[in-house]
A and B are shown apart, each in its own frame.
Chain A
Amino acid sequence: MRYTENIKRLVRKSYLKNLHVPAGAEMDERILGDALTAMEDSKKARPALVRPNFGRTIMKKKIIKLATAAVIIVAVVLSVSILSNSTSTVWAIEDTAEALDQFDAVYVYGVAAPSLEALEQGFDKEIIGALLKDRTMPIEVEFWARANEERTQSGNIRIETSDGLVGTADDTKTYIYEPNSNTVYVQQGCHIMIEPWLSGDFLLKLKEFTEDWQVTYGKDSAKGKDLAFITCTAPSLSHSMWIAIDLETNLPVRYKIWHNTKRKGIPAYDMQRIIFFEELPDERFQLQIPEGAKVVEY
């Protein structure tokens, strides 16, 4: 990992940055001049095509259902000791926004307690019944996800719980394997997702959207890393959050969400380990149907 990062940095900073390229008004004039001439010639050849045609604009609105195990990302408790302002490094939101935009995939481990309301928004009632039967919340969960092309939400996701439940989802279908009944539930559409995606743009909007945004500093006593801690509240959603940022990588490493504005009680999502990847292989998001499992489609 370190080697890869070093080579990438070398390519960016020492190779691409120093790469000599032609420049000058003469070059711009030649290229733009020829391109503009080509554009005019094409316009003459297809005059009808360059008139505005607003009537043909079709706006597609994607209806997104929120699912439970999904709204997430992040966080936790481990051994973090807050030593207020004990580090000399000052965190800047722009650095984390930039760092987040380098990655398209994420692995998250933690504890989650999705609400029934959230489940009901995503799944068929019979599936919810099967999911909640003999299962207590909160539950240990880990998931792998990669962003959709627009980086607005996850495009593929795989979720696994400590008691063997496995779910995968993409744009078209959601699969959930429930081990107690040895059943695979298949539902049309995407019902497990991370939305919004943890992009730089999202972080910047989060700061604008939330209230009481505060940053403190401390150390992860287990790993000795300097961290910045963000706390904020979203009163309109009755949510509050806590995010830990590693000051070396500028990436979030832990995250908690409470379904109240005071950060009181057990968080609904207490995500304790977050690892970002540039990409994850397709196989990670495919569900292998266990032998003998019943498949029920909705």
Chain B
Amino acid sequence: MTTKLTMHNDDDDVTRGLRALYAAPVGEPYWNELEARIMARIAEVDLGWWAELDRWARPALLAAAVLVLAAGIAMFRARQVETQTAYEHILTPSPVPIETVIRPTLEGDREASLRDVVGHRDRSNGRP
């Protein structure tokens, strides 16, 4: 019997044709042999030190991350202490104001200079 080609049904001609074209090999021997070939290739895989590296990669990364974090915290704290000290140094008033401190050896010179300046001003203003 000859019929028109059908599609879209589970069991239509095209789907049947596609199934025939893409049919997987049948028979256990074929699959057993393919499995053997796959496992032979896997047996050849020399994971070696790469596998060890991969095995240790995660713990190593974790340890590195913890170290970086600890170093970061330590640096932050050190900086914080430094900043705090600098602020305290600026904000805490010195026991003796700097501008009033005069070296004792210069005290006489200061008096002389002061007298000279005052005397000069008086003379300029016409005072005796």
Tell whether A pairs with B: no
The chain A residues found within 8 Å of chain B, CB to CB, are: none
The chain B residues found within 8 Å of chain A, CB to CB, are: none
